[in-house]
Amino acid sequence: MTAGGAPALAAPSFHPSGPVGAVRVSAEQPSPERPLVAVAHRGASGHAPENTLAAIDAADELGAVTVEIDVQLTADGEPVLMHDASLERTTDIEEVHPDLDSYDIADLTLEQIEAVDAGSWFDPAFEGEPVPTFEEALDRLESLDLNLFLEVKDPESHPGIEEVLAEELTSHSYWMRKNPPREPNRLMIQSFDWDSMETSEDLLPSVPHGLLGEVPVDELDDHDWADMVNPNHTGLTADYVSSVQEAGFEIMPYTVNEQDRMVEVLEMGTDGFVTDFPDIGQDAVAEFEGARW
């Protein structure tokens, strides 16, 4: 997912230190009473370095209830948080490991990744912020009582990632328990790779799964095992939103960073949206609901 054009705000003062069940559970249908959600993209990535524990903490401080993170596998099969295939943009890996032939996650061990700084590129206040493991992120999210949008990045480059993530998630009973119907989903797994999501749904049939990108209206029925369709907000129309919801899916477009646009996508009937600025997102939801009522 790509971020919008809102300016980054000043760094905040806080800084942190196997398949389920044999019985398939039918896909959840959208709840008309479920609240609108401003999902914190890669944590509150407009305020803290993306996909770090600091960004998760910032999302919580700013009132988010759901956090989106990206997960990939290291060369030794450990799931870690990172959006890009390479660590070059968001870490100092070229300084720490100047002689490596590749800086891609899939070519690096967890030990190599743990040596890098994933915070200073964003702001000196975050110097020393590490690349978190998936387990560390799950523990932090649980401790803060936050919900999770889990994006599986480029599964073709990480064979077996669906099984690794399913095993990790099922080892935490917290993530296998559903929230009440009037609350946001506790866990939702999504990817641009829809075949990967069907594999994941086979492993975790009780967990909602989402398709990133715009699914053609005439192909929606082909993916009736999924629960959400989450396209880019650019070019989104109320007719498309209506078609997706009538087919039984929820829809939360990405990545919306301007409050006026957030209100526009809510006016189209979406179930929420993804944003780098969950604080602005909360304001937009309040503005929309105030105008509606």
| Token pair listed for 289 | 């609901």
Cα 218 from Cα 131, distance rounded (Å): 40
Hey, CA dihedral for 160, 161, 162, 164, is it positive or negative? positive
Q: Are 112 and 57 in contact (CB under 8 A)?
A: no
Angle (nearest 5°) at CA 259 between 256 and 265 = 55
Cα 40 from Cα 100, distance rounded (Å): 33
Angle (nearest 5°) at CA 131 between 128 and 136 = 110
- Strands 272-275 and 37-41, by their bridges, are parallel
Alpha carbon separation from 290 to 4, 150, 188, 293 (Å, rounded): 25, 30, 28, 5
Cα 213 from Cα 224, distance rounded (Å): 16
Contact residues for 105 (Cβ-Cβ < 8 A; gap 6+): 72, 73, 74, 80, 82, 85, 86, 87, 113
Residues annotated as part of the active site: 41, 83
Q: Are 97 and 76 in contact (CB under 8 A)?
A: no
Cα 8 from Cα 234, distance rounded (Å): 20
| Token pair listed for 37 | 């959600």
| Identity of residue 3 | A
Cα 276 from Cα 29, distance rounded (Å): 27
| Token pair listed for 90 | 């968001």
| Strand-pair partners of 147 | 66
